[in-house]
Structure 1
Amino acid sequence: MWLPGVLVAAAAALLAWGVHALVPALPLLTVAVVLGIAVGQVPAFRVWLTGTLAPGLSLARTRFMRLGIVLLGLKLSLGDIADLGWLTVGSTVAIVLLTFAGTLWLGRLFRLPGDQPLLIATGFSICGASAIGAMSGVVKAKDDDTATSIALVTLCGTLAIAVLPALWHPLGLSALQFGQWVGAGVHDVGQVVATAQIAGSAALSLAVVIKVTRVLMLAPIVAVASVVERRRPVPGGIATIGLRSRPPIMPLFVAGFLAAVLLNSAVALPVGLLSAADSVQNALLAMALFALGAAVRLVPLLRTGWRALLVGLLSWTLIAILALGAVQLA
């Protein structure tokens, strides 16, 4: 039942990789989710997306997403994070928390439906569509809420690739300062690479380390959300603490993510192993993000989602300003 959908997601990931190879400035994962969004808008495809392909696409956007996030932990090393210095690490964590809280508040202020405030806050503050997929699985968000949040973070992350380099020199930033700004203020890892690479290898390396420091915040924030979800009462007022239908305090994929971080920090893993894990992780996340993008319906979003779009743009502006302030402070 799931094989057709998985094969289509794999083909889409391969196509996204081909586009990325031809145009390296376009991040692989961004291409994958945009491709999914494009496919989801074609009426002739929707019969397949909601029928024969549905089981496989569902598997891709849940299980593959979680496996990809576990492997993402192998990109993080506590030693690299410590080398940033306490001021940079502290400001990066503060940016994540302030952006998360500010976006959550904005989402509730504009009365966004369902779990959209939480999902948008998670994606914009931590690591884009991957973080939204992780949080969506924990709080059991509706597909519409997840799709809307994915579309917004993809739009704004792509916007950053064009806008931030244009502001680099007018703001008087050095190459390293620009790298710090990008790492702290752009959503997805691929978008960070695409934005920071124009400032040179040193700026790119700094941007990636700061970015993965933000990714590390995924574990505690998802764990807290899981605890809150467990405490929600079911209809009728029956407490749900401890029931199997609720997520564990620490979801298994989050524990796996942390284990991968600790392993990479404690052991010098072979370069070939890390390279293979990176390739598998990119493939899994590309398939998952294509499946998530295929659930987006732009026409209803444009008709009724102006409030979500406004929240996304305000959050994008908020994290850019906070990140720039941290650069000036450092």
Structure 2
Amino acid sequence: MAYVESRSAPVLQRVPWLPGVALAVGLGVVALWASETAWLRQWHLSALTVAIVIGLLLGNLSGGRLSPAFTPGLALAQRQLLRAGVVLYGLRLSFQDVAAVGAPGLVLDLLIVASTLGLGVWAGRRWFGLDRDTALLTAAGSAICGAAAVLAVERVIRPEPGKVAIAVASVVLFGTLNIFLYPALYPHLGLDAAAFGLYTGATVHEVAQVVAVGSAIGPETADAAVVVKLTRVLMLVPVLFLLGWREARAGGQRAMVVPWFALGFLGVVALNSLVTIPAATKSALLALDTLLLATAMAALGMETRLSRLRALGPRPLLLAGLLFLWLCGGGYVLVRWLG
């Protein structure tokens, strides 16, 4: 027994992150499996959402009694694995998709992202008295691409894990509401199938939710919605660089905080635009990407305490609700104006 212990101890000394990464990956795999079950699929909950819930439950039910041996690996999952996941996310988009959107779609996406971010930060601070990080994370999730945007912004501004969790919960709640609301609104908005796809892609929170809404209307709506949504995702890159510049100024640094993973994301988009990746390879990489992001979500959930979420109160939800109303109403006005 002593011999076995003497052999295992050096291994953990060389790779201290192994236990935590193994735990986070295991939870990510469970989340991937659970998100594909019939009961959860009907709610269109992504593996990322399921992963943070599982992490929250395990982290809080353990009462902080998890071994410190897990800490280095959980930290690595929240940082390096998350960055890798954001980079691979670029496989979902190509510059040909952006060109297919056309000028009206690009202008609409720009206006939606800029106005939602501006309103979210301003109202979050002035009306709801939230700290900057919580307001910014909630606004980014609503403006760009839900939980994935929250995670990407988290890597630049480095907030407390609890603020990330509440931002994810807020955007998931209202994004899920869209799945039921938008198909019910469609007959009353006076938009044809293509225009409604433009509206859906520009205003619904997450890609999976956009697919769900578009599919409920028809193929023309679904195709337009997904392309507009993915173009909106591309706007994550300039937002991350702007935040990096602001972080540098706020910290009194001369050099900008460069989110290199944003450049990696852009590079993968370029690769996907120039090279035809075999379908099987692309499918495997997209599955790996989802696992990486789910792993990062699970690790964040593990280190988030519900007591910290309760301390924030209902204000983040109120902010997310305000942004939800803006996306639904303001987005509709913009679509009619640009149309």
TM-score, reference length from structure 2: 0.86
Whole-angstrom CA distance in 2 between matches of 1:197 and 1:39: 35
Structure 2: distance between partners of 1:39 and 1:173: 45
Runs of 4 or more above 4 Å deviation: none
How many residues are treated as equivalent by the alignment?
A: 318
Cα drift, residue 253 of structure 1: 0.4
The DSSP-based 3-state class of the residue aligned with 2:253 is: coil
Q: Is this contact kept in 1: 2:144–2:205, CA < 8 A?
A: yes
| Counterparts of residues 34-53 of structure 1 (less than 5 Å) | 34-42=53-61, 44=62, 46-48=64-66, 51-53=68-70
CA distance in 1, matches of 2:174, 2:90: 25
Which range moves more in the overlay, 63-72 or 112-121?
112-121
Query: What secondary structure is seen at the aligned counterpart in 1 of 2:182?
Result: helix
Deviation at 1:52, TM superposition (A): 3.8
The residue that corresponds to 2:101 in the other structure is 84
Local SS of the residue matching 2:250? coil
SS at match of 2:146: helix
RMSD value, Cα: 2.2
Query: Of the candidates 253, 258, 268, which is equivalent to residue 240 of structure 1?
Result: 253
Q: Could you say what secondary structure the match of 1:84 adopts?
A: helix
Give the conservation status (yes or no) of the 8 Å contact 1:184–1:214.
Answer: yes
Cα–Cα, structure 1 residues 180 and 47, in superposed 2: closer, same or farther, change >3 Å? Answer: farther
CA 1:251 to 1:144, structure 2 compared with 1: closer, same or farther past 3 Å? same
Once the two structures are superposed, residues 222-280 of structure 1 have per-residue CA deviations (whole angstroms, 9 ceiling, x without a partner) of 101101111224xxxxx4223xxxxx543210111111111222223322332222111
Change (3 A) 1:97 1:252: same
Which residue of 2 is the match for residue 252 of structure 1? 260
Equivalent of residue 178 in structure 2, options 148, 160, 165: 160
**Structure index of larger Rg:** 2
Aligned mate of 2:314, from 292, 306, 324: 306
Structure 1: distance between partners of 2:328 and 2:299: 29
The alignment-based identity, stated in percent, is: 37
Q: Tell me which of 84, 96, 119 is aligned to 1:67.
A: 84
Whole-Å separation in 2 of the counterparts to 1:64 and 1:51? 20
CA contact (8 A) 1:16 1:28 kept: yes
| Paired residues of 2:163 and 2:309 also in contact (CA < 8 A) | no
- Alignment partner, residue 267 of structure 1: 275
What pairs with 1:1-330 in structure 2 (closer than 5 Å)? 1-23=16-38, 24-25=41-42, 26=44, 27-42=46-61, 44=62, 46-48=64-66, 51-109=68-126, 110-233=128-251, 239-242=252-255, 248-302=256-310, 304-329=312-337, 330=339
**Whole-angstrom distance in 2 between the partners of 1:36 and 1:220:** 30
Alpha-carbon distance in structure 1 between the residues aligned to 2:96 and 2:51: 32
